[in-house]
Structure 1
Amino acid sequence: MLARLVTGYQVRDDRQTPHAVLHTGPHRVLRRYGPPASAADRPPVLLVPPLAVSARCYDLGPEQSVVAELAAMGRLPYVVDFGDVSRADAHLGFADYFDDIVPEAIARTLADSGADRLDLVGWSLGGTISLLTAAAHPDLPIRSITAVGTPLDYDAIPPYPAVKRALPPGGTAVVTETLRALGGIPAPLVRLGYRATAWERELRKPAYIVAHADDADALARMQVIDRFQSTMPGYPGRAAVQMWQNFVYRNELAGGVVDFGDRRVDLTALVQPVQLFGSHRDAIASWRAAHHGVEVLTGAAQVHFETVEASHLGLIVGAAATAETWPRVAEFLAALDAADGDSDNR
């Protein structure tokens, strides 16, 4: 079995949850997973993916699907897909996402569902974009934001302080100009970097295959993750520079105010209820980096922080996500539903 898998044998075909494509445009494909009337009495959920990650992160395959989890909760999920990026997209920065792409997806989601507001859910940088969108546009009908494994203090992620200390004089400018010259961070480097954060999984894979040679379900789940890793797009140029300058070097998210030069966003002005998730096992967004949101989002109506011990991806798909993450999201949204009902009855 090991030899067959190494040569490309697929245990099962790639399968997606049935969905409808509602809109197609550059970096803004919108999909609905389920009929509009399936949850008409509750706000729909719009899932925002990270940059440099395929939107398939929310629908990796059977039993590894966020949209299926949300549907099982009685929610109507939508996903905005940013698609692939190339050097031609080097101009894309964070404002393109929180000022244009996500607000448009919100408007189209509400028009399709017939609802008057929705809940935003984002994993990793998808959570960052969701929070920036809500803070930058207080008029948008966003009921709540859930951010899973979203770093809000980059100094609390071990590699970054060491990288900054190791930079020679003028080193930050060198990094900036290199990112600009590359037009961003190419997909092969993103994929290599993601695999490096899960190096133990890569080392154990041959032994795992041998141990589960007769377990088609286990091997299929493994291949789903492999396919996901191999399809990661790159970071657009301007966004990559902003990540380096605003998030890593100046660590502006930790202070609550992000100054992109032509656009300034104050996260402390965000007023919606927020739910945050972190893990001590997360190699990409440390628990401290995610938990810092409790201190930063001072204007939010409420901030709930949840700890689920899983890998970065494991926070949204897999056994821990099914047993802990999504039931807690369900409780959070149900409490908001109840509060809405109480308000309507007054």
Structure 2
Amino acid sequence: MDLIPKPDQVVSAAGNVAHTLLYGGLADLRPMPRTLIDDGELREVYHYRPAKDVEETGDPVLLVTPLAAPALCFDLRRDCSLVEHLVTQGRPTYLVEYGQVSFKNRALGVEHWVDEVLPEAIRTVHEHSGGRGVHLVGWSLGGIFALLVAADRQDLPIASLTVIGSPVDVTKVPLVAPVRPLLNLTQGTGAITRAYRVLGGVPTPLVNWAFTAASAQKVVTKPLAVLTHLDDTDYLAQMEAVTRFMSNMTAYPGRTFGQLYHRFVKGNALAKGRMPLGDRTVDLADITVPVLVFAGNTDGIAPLPAVRAVVPLLTGSREVRFEIVPGGHLGMLTGRAARGTTWTVIDEWVAQWSGQAPVKAARKAPAKKAAPAKKTAAAKKATAPKKTAAAKKAPARKAPARKAASAGTIGSNPTRRYGSAGSRSLGR
């Protein structure tokens, strides 16, 4: 909206204000229709119903929700919903979420999600879709969970893995870096540790406060942004949907938060690619499926260097692709620009790795085993999947050669349909 508004801007602004006052808002917040197909302790697996006059075809996509954040992240509002985008294309679309966390769940750790929730959801989707390979799409902590499961359970029918805004090296997160020395002084006996043990976790109001604090600048400038965009219906609708998302945060289970706090924030466990989990150590180098990694160019929660740190750790993956897209932590997933950036790349990636025979999934999880000895270089070479002709036939592999660009350069890839992000494809 101009400093001196034009007549048409005044009319649009007046219409938006009137519609908000009369109907309570501008955004279409209707959720996409879905059906519960499986559930368990802090596990709900949904199948989104096919769009009218659209036939479901192809491999299924399973959207992996992070802890504390609602599944609204994938279905923010109509016309700006990754779920709606996938469903209207005819892509079989599923989602796993966790419901409300309570005090009784305080003893559950990360193992619950890596050993039970996500593997069971993958098997359910595999069976419900007719035995097809499952493409995992995880945002934030959901991406971390997906990485750990793919590394730990090669028997699961995972066709590909997409990780969106998942920080692996937390020393490169500006919000965390200044306080890490203080956290290390406590050696596990500080106020934070005592608090989550007493409370049984991190309560919802504190989660809301933390997410708001991470976006403090946007919160402060929100009134001015509204005034300067009064004539932009789509902009105002997006702000309304994001506000609803932030007001629907959920709690963290106590033991899970303790593990995240000590292993990720204080210990930076995944920066070297290995993390102790239960009675074994999970190594990201054991991931063999193709991995697509997204970083947002203005993401303050999971900045570019923190996300990109996972790329050199995925040495066993068939192919690793790194993409820089416009937006902050939520915006890169479901912002207005994501419709022509992140979603387009996901479409290409899933299409590239669809139709391949998945590993047959066993209904019962194998017995837990002790942490295996680290594979030798010769063993890894013998067991690593070879590049086949099928991989070369994928559309993305046929792109004409182009000059290498710095991974941190915005707008460095002219072949993309967007100009505000850089991208890099890393073949293994």
Q: TM-score, normalised by structure 2?
A: 0.74
CA distance in structure 2 between the aligned counterparts of 1:314 and 1:283, rounded to whole angstroms: 11
1:38-53 residue pairs with structure 2 within 5 A?
A: 38-40=55-57, 42-53=58-69
Q: Secondary structure at the match of 1:172?
A: coil
Aligned to 2:83: 67
Contact 1:164 1:249 in 2 (8 A): yes
1:79-228, aligned counterparts within 5 Å?
79-167=95-183, 169-174=185-190, 175-213=192-230, 215-228=232-245
Give the letter aligned to residue 56 of structure 1: L
Aligned match of 2:307: 290
Please name the residue that 2:342 is paired with: 325
Single out whichever of 159-168 and 309-318 deviates more from structure 2: 159-168
AA aligned opposite 2:48: Y
1:54 aligns with 2:70: yes
Structure 1 residue 127 displacement after superposition = 0.3
Compared with structure 1, are the counterparts of its residues 316 and 70 closer, same or farther at alpha carbon in structure 2 (3 Å cutoff)? same
Letter of the 2:261 counterpart: W
Show the counterpart of 1:312. 329
Aligned mates of 2:301, 2:145 — CA distance in 1:
17
Q: Contact 1:124–1:148 at 8 Å: present in 2 too?
A: yes
Which moved further from structure 2: 121-130 or 200-209?
200-209
Gaps of 5+ in 2: 1-15, 358-387, 394-428
Q: Give the corresponding residue for 2:362.
A: none
* In structure 2, C-alpha distance between the alignment counterparts of 1:213 and 1:280, rounded to whole Å: 26
What is the CA distance between 1:227 and its match in structure 2? 0.7
1:128-169 deviation per Cα after TM superposition (whole angstroms, max 9, x unaligned): 011111111110010110000011111111233321213474
1:38/1:76 contact within 8 Å kept: no
Q: Which has the larger radius of gyration?
A: 2
74 and 35 in structure 1: CA distance in 2 versus 1, 3 angstrom threshold: closer
CA shift, 1:264, in A, is: 2.4
Aligned to 1:277: 294
Q: Aligned partners of 1:56, 1:296: CA distance in 2, in Å?
A: 30
Within 2, Cα distance between the matches of 1:81 and 1:288?
A: 28
Contact 2:326/2:338 (<8 A) preserved = no
Distance 1:25 1:339 in 2: 30
Amino acid at match of 1:269: D
One-letter amino acid of the structure 2 residue matched with residue 289 of structure 1 = A
Distance 2:235 2:282 in 1: 44
Which segment is superposed worse, 193-202 or 335-344? 335-344
Q: Secondary structure at the match of 1:173?
A: coil
Pick which of 109-118 and 231-240 moved more: 109-118
**Preserved contact between residue 203 and residue 252 of structure 2 (Cα < 8 Å):** yes
**C-alpha displacement at 1:39, in angstroms?**
3.4
SS in 1 for 2:275: strand
1:74, distance to aligned residue in structure 2 (A): 4.1
- Helix, strand or coil at the partner of 1:278: strand
Counterpart secondary structure, 1:60: coil
CA offsets per residue over residues 87-138 of structure 1, 9 Å max, x none? 2211121110111011111111122111331110000001001111111111
Structure 1 residues 63 and 35: CA distance shift in structure 2, 3 A? closer
In structure 1, how many angstroms separate the alpha carbons of the residues matched to 2:252 and 2:70? 11
Contact 1:92–1:236 (8 Å) recurs in 2: yes
The CA distance in 2 between the partners of 1:279 and 1:332, in whole Å, is 18
Superposed CA RMSD in Å reads 2.7
The 8 Å contact of residues 50 and 88 in structure 2, kept in 1 or not, is answered as: no
Matches of 2:243 and 2:155, distance apart in 1: 40
From the superposition, tell whether residues 214 and 164 of structure 1 become closer, same or farther in structure 2 (CA, over 3 Å): closer
Shift in Å at residue 171 of structure 1? 4.6
Counterpart pick for 2:281 among 264, 280, 288: 264
Matched residues in 1 for 2:20 and 2:103: separation? 33
SS at match of 2:317: coil
Q: Deviations over 1:40-70 (max 9, x none)?
A: 3x21000001111011211111022111122
Give runs of aligned pairs for residues 249-260 of structure 1, distance below 5 A.
249-260=266-277
- Which moved further from structure 2: 282-291 or 82-91? 82-91
Please give the alpha-carbon distance, in whole angstroms, between the structure 2 residues aligned to 1:90 and 1:3: 46
After superposition, what is the alpha-carbon deviation per residue over 1:269-288, rounded to whole angstroms, capped at 9, x for unaligned?
11110000012310101101
Q: Measure, in 1, the Cα distance between the counterparts of 2:322 and 2:42.
A: 31
Distance in 2 between residues matched to 1:116 and 1:324, nearest whole Å: 26
User: How big is the shift at 1:75?
Assistant: 1.9
AA matched with 2:49: G
> For the residues of structure 1 that align with 2:184 and 2:169, how far apart are their CA atoms?
23
Pairwise CA distance, 1:12: 4.9
3-state SS of 1:32 partner: strand
**Residue 4 to residue 118, structure 1, CA distance change in 2 (3 Å):** closer
Shift in CA distance, 2/184, structure 1 to aligned 2, threshold 3 Å: farther
Is the helix fraction higher in 1 or 2? 1
What is the match of residue 264 of structure 2?
247
Q: 1:79 to 1:256 in 2, by over 3 A?
A: same
Distance of aligned partners of 1:167 and 1:218 in 2 relative to their CA distance in 1, 3 Å threshold:
closer
Q: Give the unaligned 5+ runs of structure 1.
A: none
Separation in structure 2 between the aligned mates of residue 63 and residue 300 of structure 1, nearest angstrom: 34
**Cα pair 1:242 1:260 within 8 Å, conserved:** no
